[in-house]
Copies of this chain bind each other. A is one copy, B any other.
Amino acid sequence: MNITLEQAQKVVAAAISKSKELKVLMDITVVDAGTNLVAFARMDGAWLGSIDISAKKARTARYFNMPTGEIGKLSQPGEALFGIEHSNGGLISFPGGVLIKNSKGDIIGAIGVSGDSVDNDHTVAQAGADAL
């Protein structure tokens, strides 16, 4: 069960709307349940380095079916998953990646947002995911 392009564009639009409300500039990636890219948008002036980070956040959230920040708690020095970021061609384990579910609760994809503080990144990603 995969997100459609129409749904993904709705998610991106909601994320951009929230970004404007917060007065931040974001890169926004949406992937499907198989972690394949569906939609992307970079707001004018948003960080170039966040293109890749937003993509890695979206994939990381789907790879482990949890918000990216949860993984980061477990990957600190001395914690159980220290160094997990070296897998899968590079994970991003700080906040900004969240799952996208349909009305039945099935995972249909994930959104990754990067461009500002990780709190704002997460807030924008959640606003995107909540649009469905």
A residues at B contact (CB < 8 Å):
4-6, 8-9, 32-44, 47-53, 56, 59-60, 62-65, 72, 75-78, 80-94, 117-118
CB <8 Å contact, B88 and A85: no
Residues of B within 8 A of A80 (CB): 94, 117-118
Known interface pairs A36-B48, A87-B56, A92-B87; A41-B5 also in contact (CB < 8 Å): yes
CB <8 Å contact, B86 and A91: yes
Known interface pairs A82-B94, A84-B94, A93-B82; A35-B48 also in contact (CB < 8 Å): yes
Copies per assembly? 4
Known interface pairs A47-B63, A49-B60, A86-B91; A81-B118 also in contact (CB < 8 Å): yes
Residues of B within 8 A of A90 (CB): 86-87
Q: How far is the CB of A128 from chain B (nearest CB, A)?
A: 15
CB <8 Å contact, A5 and B94: no
Cα separation A4 to B43 with both chains bound (whole Å): 8
Residues of B within 8 A of A35 (CB): 34, 36, 48
Closest 4 CB pairs of A and B: A34-B34, A49-B63, A40-B40, A86-B90
CB <8 Å contact, A81 and B64: no
CB <8 Å contact, A39 and B40: yes
**Pairs A–B under 8 Å by Cβ, sample size 24:** A4-B44, A5-B44, A8-B41, A35-B36, A36-B42, A36-B48, A37-B42, A38-B41, A39-B40, A39-B42, A40-B40, A48-B62, A49-B64, A53-B88, A56-B86, A72-B83, A75-B83, A76-B78, A77-B77, A80-B118, A82-B93, A82-B94, A83-B91, A86-B92
